[in-house]
Amino acid sequence: MAALVWQSCLLLLAVERARGDSSRAPCVHDLGSARQSWTLCWPALQYGGCHSNSSKGVRARVPGTVLASMLESNFSGLDPYVGMNLQQLPDIHQVGPAFYRVRYRTKVAPASCGHPFRTLILRGASYESRVFVDGVERANVTGMFRRLRVPVPSHGFDLEVETSPPPHFGVNVSGQGGDHQLAKDGPLAQFALGWDWVQATPDRNTGLWDKVEVMEHSSQLVEDLYVRTALLQRGAGHDALLTVEAHKGPCGLKWRVRHHANRSLDAEGTLAVPHCPGSSAKLEEAKLWWPWQFGDPYLYEVEILDGDCAILRQPFGVRHSEVFYEPRTDGPAFRINGVRIFLAGVNWITTDQLLRFSTNSQRYEDEVRLMRTAGANVIRVWGGGIAERPEFYRACDRLGMLVYQEFWMTGDNNGAQAGSFSWPLDHQVFVDNVQDTILLLRGHPSLFWWGGGNELWPSDRSPPMDISRAERGLVEALDGSRPYIQTSSLLQQMQSYDPKNVTAALSVDDGPYGSQVPGEFFQRNPYLRFQRYPNRTGLEPFPLSINPELGGPNFPTFAGLRRFIRTRQVPGRLGSPQPAEFAWHNFEAFVVNTSLGRPGLANGTLVDPIYDLWPRVSPMDQKTYADRASVVQYVQYRSLFEGYLQHQWSWYAGLLLWKGQTPWPSLRGFLYDWYLEANSAHQGMAAALQHTDHVLVSLEPCTLGAANVYRVNRGMEDAPETEVALTFFSLPQGEVLGTSRFQAPLVEPEAVALVGHARWPRRDGALLLRVHHNGHVLEHLLSDPCNGDALLPAMDYGNLEPTPTTLRARAWGAFEVRVTNVGAFAALLVHPRLWNGTEEVLPVWWNADYFNLLPGEMRRITWTGPVGSDVTFSGFNVREPEEALVI
């Protein structure tokens, strides 16, 4: 229902009211606690009971889980994400289910729009929910992702919704799904029992976690409106055949789609509902919906008419999505509108561990935009999480972001690695939730394909056959416009993997999940190539066309760290114990095994890039740790994406970072933190992906002591012949050491061309590189990748002694500052920050972030708003106290 925008026909309304005619748009009332007072009571007598005549109670947050409500009422201002505070909240395994079984209560006002019918709609409640109207039970629902529609009276009434926790709430031991018991229930978000990047959620997300609405309407509601689009190729343009259907609704309603350019080309037909076939119509020369970087994500609007009056409007896109077998990469690849897309994206959990942003369009818009500014063109909504909300999908529709949505199973708990292949226990409940989720989300053009779940194996047992058959059948019948792929990965089952069966599995393996020697990312299947699989000897190529998960450690900025870490301790060099707070926040060290693929080195030679690549400091402090981490992750994530890009359409059709964001302030897997501050990994990824015509310095094994320079064209058009100039600057001084110039030939779409060889002017120490080509300037921080004596070739920071430099900034209008490096050293990874008094504004859409400034150099920094009071700059070696600029 949420994808629908209901509008009144205001003009007609008056006329109809005069005529007593009730055929017009429904009215929607959001019953959220922002508008309406709700209380919570506990049916268990030891927590007070829920007497029908008691008017007292704890204020409830709606939408909001029990824990989210209790945090506002019962735990006096405790921020569960700071320090180890989460441990102070009672885990359901300790206090029992009665502690988190509640009733949400409110008084619903009488109907006010003059319609004869009213329907209550719960968009998401977990785990078992019962609805009472004036004390009488009217309906119930099980599972986190199934809506409930309940007819309710027109007079005012007392509404109560009782929500109970999942019966198998499990024990909050840490790790992938804790003790795995939660997977007996489901569908729900399995990460609620903890993972290696999150602690267990004490109430397992019990409660009214999503929107509650009441709709007043005249006749049968039009439910789950959907526009099927089929492209009919015609010359340069595309005609599209539109079929408009609803899952439920009255017979005989008309639909209309306004043509984007020519009113005489509007398309019209009859709405199809069960038992009443509709009529399709052609939309001529349709504008297609494209992922960003390939075109506009154009949205049309379908109107449902009652007479001449639109009673319902809903956006939709015209696009065609398909998976196919790509012989070059020997595995699955994707096309949209007939065009192959190299997928470069991220894994996604959700916005908040306690699900507090489930209806927050702004939060979704911000996070999806942060993924887009990192260069991602696809987001995988991972199967251990949730069905993302319509507000998320609306942001993706608008921003041209493709989405891979999985249903809610993972091999960690559903048999392949632990738990049981037969879980969840109630298959019908699971399938009912699948069906409702397809109906809820199928209208979003950004939704690219459905997945059966995470790392499920083997294909004939996981998901259980009846569930996978039902999923496939429901996607086919109710959606029909996008593929269903049974699992993200077959978990190394090389023997049974058939790369041609592209809807059986997206891949045969995934990973790695740690830092690498940067050059490793340019080898086929980084790190995994050393794995010994059944039937394989290792050290040989195998097909992994799309890698659904690979990544490594992340770290926030120093300021970001201070938002939630209370200790001043620092993680020690690898092997030493970690401070408890860091462990609680899932800290993972940037450890690299440097011996992989280097025969001279003993197996298992481990380097800690924060300690071992730099001049020794003693003691290490958090600021230094965070500054070094910012250089390390910038290079790691850039290399990861550039390594895959160099082999686009030869070895690979795509990759997805594990992972792009985190639902609480953890220290693992994020390009921006929970507070929405981007870290340098975000810029490392953006540097690789921001232009579809990209030049990269390859870190593959050097020939003749020089690094290869490639030009990669990911776009749909030829990249024209151009000059590439690569300039090296010394560090820390920032003096020009030399420029290499190459003539880059025209590069066709999907092609990669060798442009030339770059020889480092210095063997030791990192240099700043600037690459100019075709109007773009990209920077890089690399030491000589051909220096095999370096502990980590390309990452030698022996010359980066603490050399603070001073930046001076001048305001230049409301949304511009000019920042100059007035110090003697190059300023590295400079990161602007905007303030509103003492509050930092996040996120901010800067024109440049994590950039470098040579001594004497000035840069214009602009942003799109809001107006702040100050802009400050931090950075690897930026002197901080006096950096504030008052504007």
Rounded to a whole number of angstroms, the minimum distance from the CB of residue 73 to ligand NAG is 5
What's the longest Cα–Cα distance across the chain?
90
Angle of the 622-645 helix axis to the 680-689 helix axis, nearest 10:
20
Rounded to a whole number of angstroms, the minimum distance from the CB of residue 265 to ligand NAG is 5
Let me know: does 28 contact 311? Beta carbons within 8 Å: no
Alpha-carbon distances, residue 421 vs 167, 467, 526 (angstroms): 19, 11, 30
Rounded to a whole number of angstroms, the minimum distance from the CB of residue 530 to ligand NAG is 8
Q: How far apart are CA 564 and CA 567, in angstroms?
A: 9
The token duo for 457 is 């194996």
Q: How far apart are CA 274 and CA 248, in angstroms?
A: 7
The smaller minimum CB distance to ligand NAG, of residues 279 and 535, is found at 535
Phi-psi category of 224—alpha, beta or left, where left has phi over 0 and alpha has psi -120 to 50? left
The smaller minimum CB distance to ligand NAG, of residues 535 and 703, is found at 535
CA 255 to chain centre: 34
Q: Which residues of 600-632 are buried (b: 16+ CB within 10 A; e: fewer)?
A: eeeeeeebbbbbbbbeeeeebebbbbbbbbbbb
The smaller minimum CB distance to ligand NAG, of residues 90 and 855, is found at 90
Rounded to a whole number of angstroms, the minimum distance from the CB of residue 353 to ligand NAG is 12
Going by C-alpha positions, the residue among 645, 403, 383 that lies closest to residue 488 is 383
Rounded to a whole number of angstroms, the minimum distance from the CB of residue 181 to ligand NAG is 14
The smaller minimum CB distance to ligand NAG, of residues 93 and 628, is found at 93
The smaller minimum CB distance to ligand NAG, of residues 480 and 866, is found at 866
Residues in the chain, total: 887
The smaller minimum CB distance to ligand NAG, of residues 262 and 362, is found at 262
| Residues in Cβ contact with 869 at an 8 Å cutoff, skipping those fewer than 6 apart | 835, 836, 837, 886, 887
Q: Write down the residue that tokens 């001076």 correspond to.
A: 808
The smaller minimum CB distance to ligand NAG, of residues 467 and 687, is found at 467
What residue ranges bind ligand NAG (CB under 6 A)? Answer: 42, 47-48, 51-53, 58, 73-74, 87, 90-91, 94, 99, 130, 137, 140, 172-174, 199-200, 262, 264-265, 459, 486, 495, 498, 501, 504, 535, 602-603, 836-837, 841, 866
Per DSSP, the three-state class of 543 is coil
CA 729 to chain centre: 36
The smaller minimum CB distance to ligand NAG, of residues 102 and 302, is found at 102
Rounded to a whole number of angstroms, the minimum distance from the CB of residue 140 to ligand NAG is 4
Strand order in the sheet with 736-744: 736-744, 722-729, 767-773, 776-782
Rounded to a whole number of angstroms, the minimum distance from the CB of residue 457 to ligand NAG is 10
Going by C-alpha positions, the residue among 783, 792, 733 that lies closest to residue 761 is 783
Q: How far apart are CA 721 and CA 342, in angstroms?
A: 22
The smaller minimum CB distance to ligand NAG, of residues 95 and 276, is found at 95
Rounded to a whole number of angstroms, the minimum distance from the CB of residue 557 to ligand NAG is 19
The smaller minimum CB distance to ligand NAG, of residues 450 and 760, is found at 450
The smaller minimum CB distance to ligand NAG, of residues 137 and 735, is found at 137
The smaller minimum CB distance to ligand NAG, of residues 199 and 874, is found at 199
Strand-pair partners of 251: none
Let me know: does 103 contact 199? Beta carbons within 8 Å: no
The smaller minimum CB distance to ligand NAG, of residues 362 and 739, is found at 362
Rounded to a whole number of angstroms, the minimum distance from the CB of residue 58 to ligand NAG is 5
- Which ranges of 139-199 does DSSP label H, i.e. alpha helix? none
Q: How far apart are CA 237 and CA 257, in angstroms?
A: 18
Query: DSSP code of 578?
Result: P
- Whether a cis peptide bond, with omega within 30° of 0, leads into 659 is yes
The smaller minimum CB distance to ligand NAG, of residues 223 and 239, is found at 239
Rounded to a whole number of angstroms, the minimum distance from the CB of residue 325 to ligand NAG is 11
Rounded to a whole number of angstroms, the minimum distance from the CB of residue 553 to ligand NAG is 21
Rounded to a whole number of angstroms, the minimum distance from the CB of residue 409 to ligand NAG is 15
Rounded to a whole number of angstroms, the minimum distance from the CB of residue 43 to ligand NAG is 11
Going by C-alpha positions, the residue among 666, 629, 511 that lies closest to residue 197 is 666
SS3 sequence of 761-825: CCCCCCEEEEEEECCEEEEEEECCCCCCCCCCCCCCCCCCCCCCECEEEEECCCCEEEEEECCCC
Phi, psi of 6, deg, nearest 5: -90, 135
Alpha-carbon distances, residue 416 vs 140, 174, 184, 550 (angstroms): 32, 19, 14, 20
What does 292-356 look like in DSSP terms, one character per residue? TTTS-B--EEEEEEETTEEEEEEEE----EEEEEETTTTEEEEEETTEEE-EEEEEE--S-TT-T
Measured from the Cβ of residue 865, the count of other Cβ atoms closer than 10 Å reads 11
The smaller minimum CB distance to ligand NAG, of residues 50 and 724, is found at 50
Measured from the Cβ of residue 540, the count of other Cβ atoms closer than 10 Å reads 9
The smaller minimum CB distance to ligand NAG, of residues 601 and 617, is found at 601
Rounded to a whole number of angstroms, the minimum distance from the CB of residue 403 to ligand NAG is 22
Going by C-alpha positions, the residue among 751, 559, 748 that lies closest to residue 646 is 751
The smaller minimum CB distance to ligand NAG, of residues 231 and 265, is found at 265
Strand-pair partners of 637: none
- Whether a cis peptide bond, with omega within 30° of 0, leads into 187 is yes
